[in-house]
Structure 1
Amino acid sequence: MPASMNSTPPNSDALPFPPRPTVRLAVLQLMRELGLDTVFGNPGSTELPMFRDFPEDFRYILGLQESVVVGMADGYAQVTRNASVVNLHSAAGVGHAMGNVFTAFKNQTPMIVTAGQQSRSILPFDPFLSATQATELPRPYVKWAIEPARAADVPLALARAYQVAMQPPRGPVFVSIPADDWEQPSDWVAPHTVTHAVAPEPQAITRLAQALAASACPAIVVGAGVDRDSAVGQVVELAERHNIAIYAAPMSARCSFPERHRLFQGFLPAYRERIVDRLQAHDLILVLGAPAFSYHVEGAGWHVPPGSTLWQIVDDPQVAAWTPQGHSIVASLHLALDALLSQSPAVARPAPARRTAAPVAEPSLPMSVAYALQTLDQLRGADDVVVEEAPGSRGVIQACLPMPGADSFYTMASGGLGHSMPAAVGVALARRKLGLPGRVIGLIGDGSSMYAIQALYSAAQLALPLTFVILNNRRYAALQDFAPVFGYAPGEKPAGTDLPDLDFVQLAQGQGLPACRVEQPDRLRQALADALQADGPCLIELVVA
């Protein structure tokens, strides 16, 4: 009998389990073996059978809305670097969650999304709360989707789902489970070992090393894949060995290079012509862990400066396939960089000029975002982590709140709002589980926060070391600032982009969080210091220009 279908459970000598388990027992034991002891969910009737006799060594993390649940699971999985488990209600619950499922797909976050389905015995009668073609609803933003043909197949389906979620490029998967499956007999499923890292082709690395050695003025563009693969230190070593200018890729959702480092040159915009202009001086451009390139608006002309050679290392073959020119290597970043470092001796080059620091902001009324963020930068701890969703202020954040490097920054790669407030809860929960120092700072815009404000409740209930900083400029700033690109006159406001009269102090207090509002710049430093040193979660609302 194959190992995956043993009649006795893994470690059966230590566990008093029956020889042939129910689906529930087999699934729970599989999850134990995979290190998946936390389930994020918002309960519905078709999921209730899963949680009967829920074991004490598992945790159920309640979110008050399904998109909040997925956002928390996303942040948790990114920190633990293991798949998270989400449990949703049937069609309506999956529908509510889809915005953040899309973001998890773009973030390349490993996640097993399970959804309750009506009982098999009544599915032919189109029952209330059933999901018609359940596996089609989350596509195309899951890597794999299944509703097992038999109840006995559920544990095997979840074992496969885990491996697919963890295989590069990582991402969410979906399993629909009928409510009456959990009590049916099944078999123990022993997890099998799969090597998820992808090694680069040696000859391609050799060609890249030779091109890098021959380059007069190379540049590296780092994306989120570097930090996801724990390869920030290797990029720093490569950059310092060659005095290479480092840029952050457009819309990167992680910090993949220390932003105060002498070689860091700043952030590329998501405009084709502006990227070419910023990279004009470089004859070789090496893109690591990112598309080449992500664009936000229509452009024309070259993708890299004429005469420059583009190289790319990425773990997603689809991204490599649509890269418009140059040479792509599909591989895990840490393995590719190890190989490149082994073949890439130092080359004497002049160091690039240092990036110009942002000017010191002065206090004003209302406060500028730059003043608020420079004060936050002075007060935050060395181990604090920022989870950001303030797209209207992102340029100021990049200038005034530099990130220190690996595992220090998270945001959404999708552009879809409602991710980072619950993701901050998941990041804080995972960091506490791993015993990591520091506090999580959820830096959220006023408009963004209202997409997932229920995350405050979960933060309060979990008593996490988490400070929400709300930048309240009373508008959808990103839309108003972006409007001229689409023909709006200077100062002309698109309809529906003002947000007056939101009170985040009351919203926080109503969900169990202490909160305060700061409007005067002379109160900012002390209020921020108190919020960053609080025993548990809290919220501070900053009224900014």
Structure 2
Amino acid sequence: MAETMTVRQATMALLREHGMTTVFGNPGSTELGFLDRWPNDIRYVLGLQEASVVAMADGFARATGRPALCNLHSAAGVGHALGNVFTAFRNQAPVVITAGQQARGLLPGNPFLGATEAASFPKPYVKWSCEPARAEDVPAALAHAVHLAAQRPQGPTFVSIPSDDWQAPTRPLPPRRVSQDVAPDPALLADCAQALAAARNPVLVIGPEVDAEGAGDAAVALAEKLCAPVWASPFSARLSFPEDHALFAGHLAAAPPAVSNALAAHDLVLVLGAPVFTFHVAGDCALFRDGTPIWQVTPDAEALAAAGAGTGIQASLRLALPALAALLPPTDRAPAPPRARPAPPPAARPIAAEYLFHALSRLLPEDAVVVEEAPSHRPALQRHLPIRRWGGFYTMASGGLGYSLPAAVGVSLAHPGRRVCAIIGDGSMMYSIQALWTAAQHALPLTTIVVNNGGYGAMRSFSRVLGTEGVPGIDLPGIDFVALARGMGCAGLRVEDPAHLPDALAAALRHAAPMVLDVAVDAAIPTLYHKG
């Protein structure tokens, strides 16, 4: 007779097989069958709100490179989480999301906590979604979700599980190995190499997929062989290229004229691991009509299909980049002069964001990880806080706020003992501040720096760009982040005087447990987009 086990037992075996031994959740009654008699070898990380839970799983999954399981409560919990489900989809984060469903026998009567069309709720921002037709099919559905989440481009998947399925009998799942990579078309790769060799002045635009695949060193080797400058793609959610490298040219703004102007002098554009291109403001991208050859290499078929121009090669970067470099002949191109480094900003009052980031760059440990969600201060951060190490930077690929603080918790859990520095705007901080409680419960070495300009700085900037006046809901007076941090079990300190900032930063970066540093910065309206 074939071996049988419960759905729950088969699920736990699946998690162990895939190394998914950290589970993130905010549970409710429909999840109790899953949580019953929780095993000691699987860590359950509690978050206090579902959006925070998804972002923690996202940060953990991106930092480890493996799928992470996130357990939500019914349709209401999925609704709370949807903002960060959208962000996980844009981040290409391999998160397997489960949600409890009411017992199968009650579903025809539209019961309390019952989810109507549960599998459709998170669409289209999951790669795959399912509510199994039979209880015995739950482990197979979860295995499907795990394998598909890990396929490139990675992304979240979703399984709705009725509450009475966990003790139902099922058969154990056979062990499986599923490839995650796509090899490049050899003929197209050879054509790309030939075009690069013939170009007088090629340029590279590199996005987050390079770091996600562990192909960073191969990208550096390719750029050095081409002797070509490298720009970070707009809204890159990870390190695109070491920002202290002589070939690094800077960060492309998400504005079509700015992208065109930055790349106009080049006779070939090679885009690696990024869309062509992610824009935020309207305008004409001259590259799409002036005949400049654009080549794109990415595993993301949708990004290839959406590209405005050029030749696309669907391939995993870790396979394509070394193969492309091997096809290139030596070049006699002279490198462009390295970009000028900004002068140290003055220690003036009110504190300038530039001064904050410059001071932080001098004190941050070499192996620290930066997790950022301070959109209005991103240009200042990019100028004064260069990221140098692969796996050393994360942010959100979407525009949804409330991601990076809980994501920093997930990153910190993925790298025990490693300093993680979350740089969060005061507006962003209030979306998922409850993540501090989880950081405190796990005594994480997480330094959270609140870049506090007293409001939504990005909205101030866009109001100026769009010529709008008297817009309500932009200022955020009266928030005491130190008191909020202490209420969550974290140390807190506020800094207003630039003379006190270096010592306060040093103390926060030494603190063994989580600490919040609230830095009052200049509320002057930042410039997010330049025309060129």
The alignment's TM-score, normalised by the length of structure 1, stands at: 0.94
* 1:227–1:255 CA contact under 8 A, matched in 2: yes
2:346 equivalent in structure 1 = 362
Q: Give the deviation of 1:463 after TM superposition.
A: 0.7
2:153 equivalent in structure 1 = 169
2:460 equivalent in structure 1 = 480
Q: Give the deviation of 1:358 after TM superposition.
A: 1.6
Distance in 2, matches of 1:300 and 1:319, equals 19
Residue correspondence of structure 1 range 174-323 to structure 2 within 5 A: 174-304=158-288, 306-323=290-307
Question: Equivalent of 1:409, from 393, 397, 415?
Answer: 393
2:527 equivalent in structure 1 = none
Tell me if 1:543 matches 2:516. Answer: no
3-state SS in 1 of match to 2:170: coil
Distance in 2, matches of 1:264 and 1:217, equals 15
Amino acid at match of 1:43: P
1:511 equivalent in structure 2 = 488
* 1:234–1:337 CA contact under 8 A, matched in 2: yes
Q: Give the deviation of 1:275 after TM superposition.
A: 0.7
Amino acid at match of 1:442: A
Distance 1:512 1:206, change over 3 A: same
2:373 equivalent in structure 1 = 389
Deviations 1:99-143 (A, max 9, x none): 000000000001110000000011111110110110111000001
1:450 equivalent in structure 2 = 430
3-state SS in 1 of match to 2:253: coil
* 1:247–1:267 CA contact under 8 A, matched in 2: yes
3-state SS in 1 of match to 2:365: coil
* 2:97–2:159 CA contact under 8 A, matched in 1: yes
3-state SS in 1 of match to 2:113: coil
Question: Equivalent of 2:325, from 322, 333, 341?
Answer: 341
Deviations 1:292-316 (A, max 9, x none): 1111111125235724210000111
Q: Give the deviation of 1:181 after TM superposition.
A: 0.3
2:478 equivalent in structure 1 = 501
Amino acid at match of 2:69: V
Distance in 1, matches of 2:322 and 2:518, equals 44
1:119 equivalent in structure 2 = 103
Distance 1:273 1:347, change over 3 A: same
Amino acid at match of 1:163: H
Distance in 2, matches of 1:330 and 1:65, equals 38
Q: Give the deviation of 1:486 after TM superposition.
A: 2.2
Q: Give the deviation of 1:401 after TM superposition.
A: 0.5
Distance in 2, matches of 1:27 and 1:223, equals 35
Distance 1:493 1:314, change over 3 A: farther
Distance in 2, matches of 1:291 and 1:301, equals 14
Deviations 1:60-80 (A, max 9, x none): 100000000001000000011
* 1:30–1:190 CA contact under 8 A, matched in 2: no
Distance in 2, matches of 1:210 and 1:438, equals 43
Tell me if 1:146 matches 2:136. Answer: no
* 1:428–1:465 CA contact under 8 A, matched in 2: yes
Distance in 2, matches of 1:399 and 1:156, equals 48
Q: What are the ranges of 5 or more consecutive residues in structure 2 without an aligned counterpart?
A: 523-532
Amino acid at match of 1:477: G
Distance in 2, matches of 1:379 and 1:493, equals 40
Residue correspondence of structure 1 range 25-44 to structure 2 within 5 A: 25-44=9-28
3-state SS in 1 of match to 2:23: strand
Question: Equivalent of 2:447, from 467, 472, 482?
Answer: 467
Amino acid at match of 2:506: A
Q: Give the deviation of 1:240 after TM superposition.
A: 1.3
Root-mean-square deviation (Å)? 1.1
Distance in 1, matches of 2:347 and 2:214, equals 39
Instruction: Identify which range, 375-384 or 347-356, moves more after superposition.
Output: 347-356
2:528 equivalent in structure 1 = none
Distance in 1, matches of 2:299 and 2:157, equals 18
Residue correspondence of structure 1 range 66-145 to structure 2 within 5 A: 66-145=50-129
Distance in 2, matches of 1:134 and 1:195, equals 29
1:526 equivalent in structure 2 = 503
Instruction: Identify which range, 265-274 or 98-107, moves more after superposition.
Output: 265-274
Q: Give the deviation of 1:178 after TM superposition.
A: 0.3
Amino acid at match of 2:284: A
Question: Equivalent of 2:42, from 53, 58, 65?
Answer: 58
Deviations 1:29-51 (A, max 9, x none): 11111111111000111011111
Q: What are the ranges of 5 or more consecutive residues in structure 1 without an aligned counterpart?
A: 1-5, 8-18
* 1:283–1:308 CA contact under 8 A, matched in 2: yes
Q: Give the deviation of 1:493 after TM superposition.
A: 4.8
* 1:232–1:405 CA contact under 8 A, matched in 2: no
Distance in 2, matches of 1:142 and 1:318, equals 14
3-state SS in 2 of match to 1:181: coil
Residue correspondences, number:
522
3-state SS in 1 of match to 2:16: helix
* 1:381–1:438 CA contact under 8 A, matched in 2: no
* 1:117–1:130 CA contact under 8 A, matched in 2: yes
Distance in 2, matches of 1:251 and 1:539, equals 26
3-state SS in 1 of match to 2:164: helix
Distance in 2, matches of 1:526 and 1:285, equals 45
Deviations 1:164-193 (A, max 9, x none): 111111100000000000011011012311
Amino acid at match of 1:184: A
